[in-house]
Amino acid sequence: MSTEDMRVKSRLSNRLARLARAVLEPEHRVDPATVTIKKNNGSFEIPDCKNCRDRCCVHPRRDEGILLSLRDIATFVDSGLGDFIVGRYTFKKKNGTVQPEIDQMPRLKKRKGNCIFYDEDSGLCTEYGLRPTICRRFPYEVDYRNTKSGAVPIARFISEVSCPTISIRYKENSVQQMVADAIENENMSIEDEQLLPQHHKELRKMGFGPYLPAPKDCPT
């Protein structure tokens, strides 16, 4: 791929990053240094994916499809995989503010009920390097614990989702990477909440139009 092709291909991601840098202040984001990891009986929990027979890519809980953030969309579009995305953001008013709704949110298409990128024969993701952050961080997420000094972020293994093969052996690299991805995923959600309702005009100009509601259905 020529340098020019690479520059064009990363255009949407670069534009989005520039807008996010201009709009979001550091205090809007979760600082990884402030996140503690919740342990189970003193041990970190990690999924044992190699021995899993019930992959989350085909799990019934994934019926709604894999939801995408603006950054995920930009990554797929820049990589020529935009045709695998369906859905558009919608907005709702809640507590006096306009927020993006997840019901119709852009998501990956499905094939035979599974994620479009899931290969049934190998049981692997065919776009592993590009997989959305929600896949990278699963099954860790960032939650918030209320303390006297305010809400404190905590990374936790999502116990209510059935991850059938949990290992509680301590593997520092695995835990650290999943937690870093969970924080990144949380920051992408925060980014979307800040950018979508108030900056949809700039997003439309950048090339996100196919994933946004019609202008008449966007907040002014």
Please give the residue ranges that form the binding site for ligand SF4 (CB under 6 A).
Answer: 47-49, 52, 54-57, 66, 115, 117-118, 125, 127, 131, 135, 138-139, 163, 165
Residue 107 CB, shortest distance to ligand SF4, in Å, is: 10
97 or 165, CB closer to ligand SF4?
Answer: 165
Q: How far apart are CA 4 and CA 16, in angstroms?
A: 19
Residue 56 CB, shortest distance to ligand SF4, in Å, is: 3
CB 101 within 8 A of CB 85: no
SS (H, E, C) 74-123: HHHHHCCCHHHEECCCEEEEECCEEEEECCCCCEECEECCEECCEECCCC
Residue 130 CB, shortest distance to ligand SF4, in Å, is: 8
118 or 211, CB closer to ligand SF4?
Answer: 118
13 or 200, CB closer to ligand SF4?
Answer: 13
What type of residue is 202? Answer: E
Report the SS3 class of residue 42.
Answer: coil
26 or 129, CB closer to ligand SF4?
Answer: 129
Residue 164 CB, shortest distance to ligand SF4, in Å, is: 6
Angle at 117 between CA 116 and CA 122, to 5 degrees: 120
Residue 53 CB, shortest distance to ligand SF4, in Å, is: 8
Tokens 């820049």 correspond to what residue? 78
What type of residue is 121? Answer: D
Q: How far apart are CA 219 and CA 41, in angstroms?
A: 47
Residue 46 CB, shortest distance to ligand SF4, in Å, is: 9
86 or 125, CB closer to ligand SF4?
Answer: 125
24 or 67, CB closer to ligand SF4?
Answer: 67
| Cα 118 → chain centroid | 17
C-alpha distances out from residue 162 to 47, 51, 95, 154, Å: 10, 14, 33, 20
Length of the chain as a residue count:
220
